[in-house]
Amino acid sequence: MAEIRSSPDSREPAQSPSLAELSQEISASCLGLRLRLLARMVTRGYDDALRPFGIRITQLSLLVAIHRKEPVPAYRLGEVLSLEKSTLSRNLDRLRERGWLAEAMESGGRGDGLRLSAEGRRMIQRAGPAWRQAQAQVEARFGKEGTRQLVQIAAASGGLPGD
């Protein structure tokens, strides 16, 4: 996806909208705002369902991505999930602290990527039914067609692990 940029040097139109008009337009139609609101709502639903297992959807998503690609270098995981280096590092540290990750080692002793530990694999299996429940609730909220369109848009924007 191309990065959206604006230049403070660009000339303003001859007839600028009023602050009230611009504020109304942004609040009524801004896709960035709407998508962020939807993301928070969806995340909250998954996190509520996963809370009894001591895991958040962001952490479960990382475990699943690692499992599907293992062994996977951390930098590659960040690319696939479009995560900033600091965000990825912080989240991987949390997974390690909980014993859900194991570094894959080459014969020379160098790490060649991330792998799940046995406990990380068990966590995916334990949390799976709660994830399915949250997934069904989200799908019900968006409807069958809305869910299909969201999955299609996400896949077209670069794809996700498992696509």
- Residue 13's pLDDT is 57
User: Structure pTM?
Assistant: 0.80
Higher pLDDT, 12 or 37: 37
User: How many angstroms from the chain centroid is the CA of residue 39?
Assistant: 9
Dmax (CA) for the chain in angstroms is 68
Ordered DSSP codes for 49-73: HHGGGT--HHHHHHHHHHHHH-SB-
Q: What is the pLDDT of residues 63-119, one digit of tens each?
A: 999 999 999 999 999 998 889 999 999 999 999 999 999 966 554 445 579 999 999
- Residue 163's pLDDT is 46
Judged by phi (left if over 0) then psi (alpha if -120 to 50, else beta), residue 82 lies in left
CB atoms within 10 A of CB 59: 22
- Residue 14's pLDDT is 58
Q: What is the pLDDT of residues 108-151, one digit of tens each?
A: 445 579 999 999 999 999 999 999 999 999 999 999 999 999 98
Alpha-carbon gap, residue 114 to 77, rounded angstroms: 9
- Residue 9's pLDDT is 56
Q: What are phi and psi of 152, to 5 degrees?
A: -65, -45
Contacts of 117 (CB under 8 A, 6+ apart): 99, 100, 101, 102
Q: What is the pLDDT of residues 23-63, one digit of tens each?
A: 999 999 999 999 999 999 999 999 999 999 999 999 999 99
3-state helix, strand, coil in the chain (%, to 5): 65, 5, 25
pLDDT value at 157 more than 90:
no
Give the bridge partners for 101, in sequence order.
116
Domains of the chain: 54-127 (1.10.10.10)
